[in-house]
Structure 1
Amino acid sequence: MSKQATFSVKHSLVSDFKEITKMRLSLSVVFSSMAGYLLGAEIVDFSILILLAFGGYFMVGASNIFNQIIEKDLDSLMDRTKNRPIPAGRISVTNAFAMGCVFTVFGIGILYFINQQTAMFAAISIFLYTCVYTPLKTKTPLSVFVGAIPGAIPFMLGWVAATNNFGIEAGTLFAIQFFWQFPHFWAIGWFLFDDYKKGGFFMLPTGKQDRGTAKQVIMYSIWTLLVSIVPAFGFTGRLQLSIVASVIVFLLGLGMLYYAIQLYKKMTVLSARHLMLVSVIYITLLQIIYVVDKFIR
């Protein structure tokens, strides 16, 4: 085999691995869990942080692999997903299932080594995403509410990994990421509406790109903004936020709310894309601000 052919095969394998585990999404989840750990840890143990990163990636990777196995026929109908490794035939269902099982064992096993509660929440996340959220996506728009539960676990998972405790602090981190997911995923559901429709997915709360959906996007953006500054009022145990940090987070929230209102006013695919991008920036900066604020207070 020529060097060029060998490179092509390796490149294909790497690309397929990235796609079947949804690497960008998985890395964002790892980032969230590591932020949660840094918030919860009294003394940062880098060995635990590394275990959390690998365990978190395996956990999310497993969920994504099982999701793509279940949806392989529907994925083949949509432009965005028809070239994924399973519907395109580059990875067989059998091989993908084996990979998913290995990822599950590795993910839960690594997180169990940190503590039992972390492993338990990881297992719950995989179960809900694969066995409840995925089947519901073609049945009801309420699937987004179910999917928001495993989607909100990573931020608080890091806190549990650091403290071996699920209390008001972890619950607050969960709530922040839970409410944030609605404007984020409804924005995605809006600008991918036609493609989702080909696969039989109706992700928007009203099932349509209408004012009702846009109003709910605004409502959940407001809830996200409010929940995100709760730690500034001293109600959340060890999870605290300084006045300066809370003002910055509040202003970021107003920025996301502005784009949610723009979606309501314009009702366009472009405004939905803008909201999606801003929502990603918002949650990333929020987690960075929370962590930085803890260590400079």
Structure 2
Amino acid sequence: MKPRIMVMALLTAAGAMTLAPGGVELARALWLLVGTGLVVGSANTLNMWLERDVDCLMARTKSRALPQQRLAANTALVFGALLGAAALPVLALAGIIPAALGLLALILYVGAYTPMKQRSHWAVWVGSAPGAMPALMGWTAATGHIDLPGLAVFGTLFIWQVPHTHAIGIYRNREYSAAGLKTLPNTHGLAAARFQILALLVVQVAVSLTPALLGVAGTAYLVTAAVLGALVLVQGFAGDGSTKWARNVFMTSIVYLPILFGVMIASGQA
């Protein structure tokens, strides 16, 4: 069930709860985390069920259980549906807003993002919303409402995903094209993809400063976000847009986000 995505979702949900003002009751926090895990598990399972034929065509996914027929497709479908059905009442115990956001994330990921990947490169933007949703679910479980500070945390995680995913699209361009997936590089070319990645890295750095400006995190986070952002921009603008450059952008983004979010949490609790 894509364990790395699951871990990221749970960590960002838990982190957002700790950042939110006022704290959260232990029982509510546990319901939120269990419900988040169920939603993510459902979304990933149903995504892999829908993409089982596409996954056969790509090296990084062809070893999954469904393409290898180690798991029956109907079993995966039922399992994913049951996880989704269980998630909503569990999330409701953490609050109506987290439950509504969880339902929205599930619908966007399975009903919009997954089929859209074979039709438009804009799927990246649609898929980034459910990817960042656990943080907003965690925030609203603690606060009971959606506000600008919570949206700043959500936005930081949301915008990070877009250049990150476009970079993958460059260095896996042939593989994605062969599988029929629409990415920015194979619909608009490498030059356009590089330009958009660079523009989005600038936006990413700017958005990453907003949690500090809105009082979610302190000075240590602001300095960290600025320094990390400068390093990301230097690396990005110094590159040539090649496959190697794209892979470096991708690898840097993997290091960047945990440090940024970790310092955000530590600074917010200080």
Residue 251 of structure 2 corresponds to residue 261 of structure 1: no
Change (3 A) 1:113 1:44: closer
Instruction: Say if 1:156 and 1:170, in contact at 8 Å, map to a contact too.
Output: yes
- Distance, in Å, in 2 between the alignment partners of 1:191 and 1:200 is 16
Instruction: Say if 2:20 and 2:216, in contact at 8 Å, map to a contact too.
Output: no
SS at match of 1:37: helix
Match in the other structure for 1:63: 43
Match in the other structure for 2:265: 291
Match in the other structure for 1:247: 223
SS at match of 1:240: coil
Residue 97 (structure 1) shift: 0.8
Amino acid paired to 1:112:
A
Instruction: Say if 2:39 and 2:87, in contact at 8 Å, map to a contact too.
Output: yes
TM-score (norm 2): 0.94
Instruction: Say if 2:219 and 2:267, in contact at 8 Å, map to a contact too.
Output: no
Match in the other structure for 1:169: 149
Partner deviation per Cα, 1:97-145 (whole Å, 9 max, x = no partner) = 1110121122222211100110100000000110111111011111111
- Distance, in Å, in 1 between the alignment partners of 2:223 and 2:21 is 24
- Distance, in Å, in 1 between the alignment partners of 2:261 and 2:137 is 14
Instruction: Say if 1:183 and 1:260, in contact at 8 Å, map to a contact too.
Output: no
SS at match of 2:132: helix
| Structure showing greater Rg | 1
- Distance, in Å, in 1 between the alignment partners of 2:38 and 2:124 is 23
| Number of matched pairs | 270
TM-score (norm 1): 0.86
Instruction: Say if 1:209 and 1:267, in contact at 8 Å, map to a contact too.
Output: no
Change (3 A) 1:31 1:104: same
- Distance, in Å, in 1 between the alignment partners of 2:252 and 2:86 is 34
Amino acid paired to 1:278:
T
Question: Mean alpha-carbon deviation: is it higher for 61-70 or for 251-260?
Answer: 251-260
Moved over 4 A (4+): none
Partner deviation per Cα, 1:38-76 (whole Å, 9 max, x = no partner) = 111523433333332222121111111111111111111
- Distance, in Å, in 1 between the alignment partners of 2:245 and 2:211 is 31
Match in the other structure for 2:132: 152
Instruction: Say if 2:173 and 2:185, in contact at 8 Å, map to a contact too.
Output: no
Identity between Structure 1 and Structure 2 (%): 26
Residue 219 (structure 1) shift: 0.8
Change (3 A) 1:92 1:290: same
Structure 2 residue runs of 5 or longer lacking an equivalent are none
Amino acid paired to 1:270:
K
Match in the other structure for 1:181: 161
- Distance, in Å, in 2 between the alignment partners of 1:245 and 1:148 is 23
Question: Mean alpha-carbon deviation: is it higher for 114-123 or for 187-196?
Answer: 187-196
Amino acid paired to 1:250:
A
Residue 270 (structure 1) shift: 2.5
Amino acid paired to 1:125:
A
- Distance, in Å, in 1 between the alignment partners of 2:37 and 2:169 is 25
Instruction: Say if 2:169 and 2:185, in contact at 8 Å, map to a contact too.
Output: no
- Distance, in Å, in 1 between the alignment partners of 2:52 and 2:8 is 24
- Distance, in Å, in 2 between the alignment partners of 1:25 and 1:232 is 26
SS at match of 1:195: helix
- Distance, in Å, in 1 between the alignment partners of 2:268 and 2:153 is 14
Q: Give the structure, 1 or 2, with the largest relative contact order (CA under 8 Å, sep 6 or more).
A: 2
Q: Which of 59, 79, 86 is 2:66 aligned to?
A: 86
Q: Which of 57, 65, 77 is 1:97 aligned to?
A: 77
